[in-house]
Amino acid sequence: MRVLLIAGGWSNEREVSLSGASQIEKAMISLGHDVTFFDLDPDLNSLIKAAHNCDAAFINLHGRPGEDGTIQALLDDIGLPYQGAGPLGSFLALNKHLSKQILRNHGLPTPDWFLLTDMHNNIPKALRFPLLAKPNTGGSSLDMAILNNFHELEIHIKQLNFKNNEIILEEYIDGMELTCAVLEDMALPPILIKPLKGSFFDYASKYDPDGASELCPAPVSAEVNSKIMELSLEVHKILGLRHYSRTDFMLDKEDNIYILEANTLPGMTRTSLVPRAARAAGLDFAALIDKLLAMAINSTGNKTKVTT
């Protein structure tokens, strides 16, 4: 199969994207696929040219564009199949404020939150600290912080380029972080994440070799595991996702489960969370990549690949 591997781009998650793409490319080559690597740039016409005579695309972008549905919409328009969520599902999942509201509409548990859109006059005085601050449409735990009071909130805001950021201020849940992947309408074994650098699963915890301990299957009760798998499937369905996704959770000390967010293009290095869960379910990294490509091809319907 001739695969267009799309990675890089210009978000602040570029390096994470490129790191995963190099491992994906090696796996695809080992499977006998003909891979064209494409480092996304703002000239989208160059992407269309790179898609010439390709059979499918594999998107390994993080942040915008890529996770916001931009590239998915373009690929749909030119008829090139790809793995993962379509434009609408991608947009819904990346926008935490919107996706949390949709999940709450369906009665699913998510921590209380507030969307901060103005650093001067939009901060409610009734905020209850501590709070977890994170970009509304960011990923990889970049620019996240636990805030204990208004002074820390003001400092955090000043450190960000607020004109380009909406900030989610979310109720801080004191407990354990878990994550659960969905692959082709099946929930994979949940993973318990224990950060070893810092008090939550931040950028360093995610990408430093010794940043976190990730236990799969999660050493929690069978009831909690079952409920997290059930909720992951519900999130996947409600947000209109396809092929695969990963949903993050917090489990408090009373075993109450809270949905944090869904990821439509989760990290895809060999040691990333989704490959780790797939391995526990019997799929090695190359087999996982091949399965995702097969799902992409099988979901094309009557669309025709790019030939001009």
| Catalytic entry in 263, 272, 279, 290 | 263
For residue 263, indicate whether it is catalytic. yes
| Catalytic entry in 138, 248, 258, 276 | 248
Tokens of 264: 């439509």
| Catalytic entry in 136, 139, 172, 246 | 246
| Catalytic entry in 82, 207, 244, 258 | 207
For residue 13, indicate whether it is catalytic. yes
**Residue 300 φ/ψ region, left for φ over 0, alpha for ψ in the -120 to 50 degree band, beta for the rest:** alpha
For residue 184, indicate whether it is catalytic. no
For residue 82, indicate whether it is catalytic. no
- In Å, how far are 78, 79, 85, 108, 115 from 103, measured between CA atoms? 32, 31, 17, 5, 16
- CB count in 10 Å sphere of residue 186: 12
For residue 248, indicate whether it is catalytic. yes
Phi then psi for residue 292, to 5 deg, are -65, -40
CA distance 142 to 149: 20
| Catalytic entry in 138, 267, 279, 290 | 267
CA distance 192 to 214: 6
| Catalytic entry in 261, 272, 276, 290 | 261
| Beta strands, E only, the chain | 2-8, 34-40, 56-59, 113-116, 131-135, 145-147, 167-171, 175-183, 186-187, 191-195, 212-215, 244-252, 257-263
The dihedral through the CA atoms of 171, 265, 156, 162 has a sign that is: negative
Reported as half-sphere exposure (CB side, CA atoms, 13 A), residue 79 has a value of: 10
Residues known to be catalytic: 13, 140, 207, 246, 248, 261, 263, 267
